[in-house]
Structure 1
Amino acid sequence: MDIKEWFPEFQVSAETDTDLQSYFFKLPEIKKITNSRSWLVLGRKGMGKTAIYEYLKQSSNYVLNDYFTICINFGDYPWPAHQLYKESIAGELSAYQKSWRYLFFVKGLSRLIEIKKAKGEKLNKELRWAEIYINKIYGNPDPTLTEIIFSKISQLSSIKGPNVELDDFSIESGEMSFDDISNDKQLQSKLRSNAFTLLSYFESVFKNNCETHKILIALDQLDENWLESEIEEYSKVLINLLNVCRSIALDLNLSKNLKVVPFLRTDIYNSLKFNDKNKLLQDSAIIISWNSDSLDDMYFERIKKYAPEYVSIDNERKSGNLFEINFVRQGTPPFKYIARRSFFRPRDVIVYFNEIRACHKQNISGLYTTTELYEADREASSSVYNELIDEWSNQFPEIEKLLTVLQTIQVETFSYAEFSGKYDNEFATASEGKKREHLGFLFENSIIGQKKQGRWEYVCSTPNLKMNTEKDFRTHPALKYRLHLIESRPNQSV
């Protein structure tokens, strides 16, 4: 039976991979999220942040250390609307903090009420009050991001607290648009005043009624839909978010019941400027990292899931079971060959195997061949190139020109002088400092690497690798075919 008949092509996007839970999660990061004090998940694009987020979204509290999850995707979040809740009298690094807390406690209290009702518990006076307000103001017992941000809260003349007997009340129908509020300072003031009054009440009710219930709020795609002209302001929004998450984690009266976990790109985090950033990284961050072995384990789970009973699986070979040979060039196992042509990201590996499958033709062994492995290298190289453009086009628009610099060098291995000459052709007015900054960017993101102990290495595989402009550089082999590079000298190790 040919391999194509039993081993499928896989979705690259975690959101569309319906079988993700069955083969992705033996990651230590999962346990750290639910069983440690850490609350910030960092990783490069394609490292699996959204896959972990989807796992949290789909899993029951029984496998998540009793946490009930609230998963909020910011892919379609109206970032400019967040500014309506910005406090003008607050300092720059705290102007958005109340708006984040407001969002978390609306969602957290809504989830707490849902949990208690599902368990058949009778709501007390405070929770009945909260339920009425949430349903009336947001029009939904579990309001969406948009329903919270564009709620009718600015229409309320007053808010009665949970200790006051509450009669049923109604709010005029009709949506409040961003333009309606942004053009009316009085409406903005009322919006903030009412929202933050509710925040005070909601937070108190949540703390009073959580008991032993634990809620985890996961935030994904916080770097999506940023307008280039607003990046500086969005950065302030994220800094406020991190400060709120940290304050919740440090609140002894709250942290046992509520945990907020933002999933953030490492480069975005590194670009933020605030006090104690390095301390927060050391104390509270979970950094997603992979190596050849862990990626092999991840992909082997897929093989075990789909292999028919009559297909013999060698647990020692792991992903090598897909190939008719044990070794390729220079005695390298097939999976290690693939891993070295990735940035050690699951996405790169999945794409490469999909390309091998596309190249595959039926043969006697029914498995992938060496020829197909090498042929797939070309299409996989184009995919990695496109991923880099997608990863950096907003935050680092110079990326395409820098890749052009590497392409015009024409060879894989080059000196600083060779880079400098081609760089000057693309960036004619750039200073020497900017040139070295750009070279450092390429190095830190594994687009280029250097030799260590006689072998070409990259930051993605050797995190402590340091750049030395006196030594030769080498463009990552994942980009070789897309950039049309050739060997710089005979018999060079790949």
Structure 2
Amino acid sequence: MDIKNWFPEFQVSAETDEDLQQYFFKLPEIKEITNSRSWLVLGRKGMGKTAIYEHLKKAESKDLNNYNTICINFSHYPWPAHQLYKESLAGELSAYQKSWRYLFFVKALSKLIEIKELKNESLNKELKWAKKYIDKIYGNPDPSLTEVIFSKIGRLSSIGGPSVEVDDFSADIGEVSFEDIAADKQLQSKLRSNAFTLLGYFEKIFKDNCNEHKILIALDQLDENWLEGEIAEYSKVLINLVNVCRNIALDSNLSKNLKVVPFLRTDIYHSLKFNDKNKLLQDSAVTISWDSESLDDMYFERIKKYAPEGMTLVESDKSANLFGISFVRQGTPVFKYITRRSFFRPRDIIVYFNKIRDCHVENSSGLYTSQELYDADREASTSAYNELIDEWSNQFPKISALLTVLQTIQVETFNYSDFSAKYDSEFPNASDGEKREHLAFLFDNSIIGQKKQGRWEYISSTPNLKMNIEKDFRTHHALKYRLHLIESRPNQSV
């Protein structure tokens, strides 16, 4: 049977990969999130953050150290609305903290009530009050992000505590829109006052009633939907988020029952400016990383799932089972050839194999050939380029111009003088400091690399690699064909 008849093309997006649970998760990061004190997940775009998030969303509680998960996706989050809850008199590093806690405790308490009801546990007076309040104010026993933000709470004259019957206020009070609140300072003040009063009640009720129940709130795609010109303000919002998550983790009366886990891009985390950032990174962060072996294991799980009955798979060959050969140019193992043309991300590997499949023509072996592997290199290069543009277009719009600089150098291997000359043409008014900063950006993101022990290496494969401006650089092979680079000029050593 030809390989195209049994081995499929895979979705690149974790959200649309229906079989993700079956072949992706033997990752140590999963247990680190649920079984350790760590509460922050960091990784470059395409490293698998959303895949882990999807696992937390779908897995059973017994497989997550008995955590019940609440998964919140921020891809369509109205970030400007968050500013309505900003406390004007608070310091920069605390102005948004109550609004984050408000969101978390509305969600956590609604989840706790759901858990207790599913287990047929009786609700005491406080929980019954909270259930009615959540349902009437947010219009949903499990309110969404927008339902929490744009609820009826801004229209209430006051918030009565658990001793006051919920029916004392009218359920017909209308919700408020962003435009309504943004144009009315008094309404903004009332919104914050009522929300934070409710936060006080909800937080106490949660602490008093969570007992042995454990809840994990996962937050994904926090870097999505940012508006150009607002990045500085959004960074403050994220700093407050990180500080709230840390405070919850340090609260001995809360941390055994509630954990909030934001999934952040590594570069965005490093761009934030707050105290103890590096200490937090060491003590509380799970940084997603891959090497050739773990990527091979990940992809081999897919092969084992789809291999037809009766097909013999050689365990030691792993992903090379898809090929009629084990080695390619210069005696390189098949999978290593692919990873050298990747940024060591699952997404890169999946895309490359999809491109090989596109190039495949039915043959006597029924498997992929070395020529198909080479042919896929060109198409994969275009995908790698587009991924970089997609990754950085919001946070670093100059990425396109920097890639143009590398393209106009024309060769893979170059020195600082080569880079400087082409850079000045693309950025005529930039300072030497900006030039070196942009070179470091390319290096730190594995777009360019340098030799270590006689071999070209990149940060993605060698995290402790240090840039030396006196040595030659090399543009990553993943970009060679899209940037139309040749290996070297006739008079240039390779």
* TM-score, normalised via structure 1 length: 0.98
Q: CA deviation at 1:162?
A: 1.4
Match of 2:15 in 1: 15
Deviations 1:393-441 (A, max 9, x none): 1111110111001001111000111111111110111111111000000
Q: CA deviation at 1:489?
A: 5.6
Match of 2:253 in 1: 253
Letter in 2 for 1:144: S
Whether the 8 Å CA contact 1:40–1:262 is kept in 2: the answer is: yes
Looking at structure 2, the residues matched to 26 and 493 of structure 1 have their Cα atoms a distance apart, in angstroms, of 43
Looking at structure 2, the residues matched to 308 and 162 of structure 1 have their Cα atoms a distance apart, in angstroms, of 61
Aligned residues: 494
User: For 1:317, what is the secondary structure of its paired residue?
Assistant: helix
Residues 364, 280 of structure 1: alpha-carbon distance in 2 compared, 3 angstrom cutoff: same
Residues 208, 300 of structure 1: alpha-carbon distance in 2 compared, 3 angstrom cutoff: same
Letter in 2 for 1:267: D
Deviations 1:430-487 (A, max 9, x none): 1111110000000000000000000000000000000001110000000000000011
Looking at structure 1, the residues matched to 372 and 489 of structure 2 have their Cα atoms a distance apart, in angstroms, of 26
Letter in 2 for 1:249: A
Match of 1:98 in 2: 98
Q: Does 1:130 align with 2:130?
A: yes
Whether the 8 Å CA contact 1:155–1:171 is kept in 2: the answer is: no
Match of 1:438 in 2: 438
Looking at structure 2, the residues matched to 3 and 284 of structure 1 have their Cα atoms a distance apart, in angstroms, of 44
Match of 1:172 in 2: 172
Letter in 2 for 1:337: Y
Letter in 2 for 1:217: I
User: For 1:229, what is the secondary structure of its paired residue?
Assistant: coil
Q: Does 1:296 align with 2:296?
A: yes
Looking at structure 1, the residues matched to 182 and 220 of structure 2 have their Cα atoms a distance apart, in angstroms, of 27
Deviations 1:28-80 (A, max 9, x none): 10000000000000000000000000000001101000000000000000000
Match of 2:181 in 1: 181
Match of 1:26 in 2: 26
Looking at structure 2, the residues matched to 416 and 179 of structure 1 have their Cα atoms a distance apart, in angstroms, of 52
User: For 2:386, what is the secondary structure of its paired residue?
Assistant: helix
Residue ranges of structure 2 left out of the alignment (5+ in a row): none
Looking at structure 1, the residues matched to 490 and 423 of structure 2 have their Cα atoms a distance apart, in angstroms, of 26
User: For 2:316, what is the secondary structure of its paired residue?
Assistant: coil
Q: Does 1:81 align with 2:81?
A: yes
Residues 493, 208 of structure 1: alpha-carbon distance in 2 compared, 3 angstrom cutoff: farther
Looking at structure 2, the residues matched to 454 and 171 of structure 1 have their Cα atoms a distance apart, in angstroms, of 72
User: For 1:228, what is the secondary structure of its paired residue?
Assistant: coil
Match of 1:68 in 2: 68
Q: CA deviation at 1:171?
A: 2.6
Residues 490, 286 of structure 1: alpha-carbon distance in 2 compared, 3 angstrom cutoff: farther
Match of 1:344 in 2: 344
Whether the 8 Å CA contact 1:217–1:260 is kept in 2: the answer is: yes
Letter in 2 for 1:148: V
Q: Does 1:112 align with 2:112?
A: yes
Looking at structure 2, the residues matched to 168 and 127 of structure 1 have their Cα atoms a distance apart, in angstroms, of 17
Q: CA deviation at 1:351?
A: 0.3
Looking at structure 1, the residues matched to 305 and 168 of structure 2 have their Cα atoms a distance apart, in angstroms, of 54
Residues 165, 225 of structure 1: alpha-carbon distance in 2 compared, 3 angstrom cutoff: closer
Residues 460, 232 of structure 1: alpha-carbon distance in 2 compared, 3 angstrom cutoff: same
Residues 95, 2 of structure 1: alpha-carbon distance in 2 compared, 3 angstrom cutoff: same
Looking at structure 2, the residues matched to 219 and 63 of structure 1 have their Cα atoms a distance apart, in angstroms, of 19
Looking at structure 2, the residues matched to 483 and 476 of structure 1 have their Cα atoms a distance apart, in angstroms, of 10
Whether the 8 Å CA contact 1:156–1:171 is kept in 2: the answer is: no
Whether the 8 Å CA contact 1:88–1:95 is kept in 2: the answer is: yes
User: For 1:38, what is the secondary structure of its paired residue?
Assistant: coil
Q: CA deviation at 1:207?
A: 0.2
Looking at structure 2, the residues matched to 168 and 160 of structure 1 have their Cα atoms a distance apart, in angstroms, of 9
Match of 2:417 in 1: 417
Match of 1:213 in 2: 213
Looking at structure 2, the residues matched to 166 and 304 of structure 1 have their Cα atoms a distance apart, in angstroms, of 56
RMSD: 1.3
Residue ranges of structure 1 left out of the alignment (5+ in a row): none
Match of 1:367 in 2: 367
Q: CA deviation at 1:165?
A: 5.1
Q: CA deviation at 1:137?
A: 0.2
Match of 2:311 in 1: 311
Match of 2:265 in 1: 265
* TM-score, normalised via structure 2 length: 0.98
Whether the 8 Å CA contact 1:67–1:214 is kept in 2: the answer is: yes
Letter in 1 for 2:286: I
Looking at structure 2, the residues matched to 493 and 377 of structure 1 have their Cα atoms a distance apart, in angstroms, of 24
Runs of 4+ off more than 6 Å: 490-494
Looking at structure 2, the residues matched to 443 and 200 of structure 1 have their Cα atoms a distance apart, in angstroms, of 47
Residues 470, 22 of structure 1: alpha-carbon distance in 2 compared, 3 angstrom cutoff: same
Residues 17, 296 of structure 1: alpha-carbon distance in 2 compared, 3 angstrom cutoff: same
Looking at structure 2, the residues matched to 282 and 76 of structure 1 have their Cα atoms a distance apart, in angstroms, of 31
Residues 490, 294 of structure 1: alpha-carbon distance in 2 compared, 3 angstrom cutoff: farther
User: For 2:411, what is the secondary structure of its paired residue?
Assistant: coil
Q: CA deviation at 1:385?
A: 0.1
Looking at structure 1, the residues matched to 2 and 244 of structure 2 have their Cα atoms a distance apart, in angstroms, of 54
Q: CA deviation at 1:238?
A: 0.2
Q: Does 1:35 align with 2:35?
A: yes
User: For 2:69, what is the secondary structure of its paired residue?
Assistant: strand
Q: CA deviation at 1:167?
A: 4.2
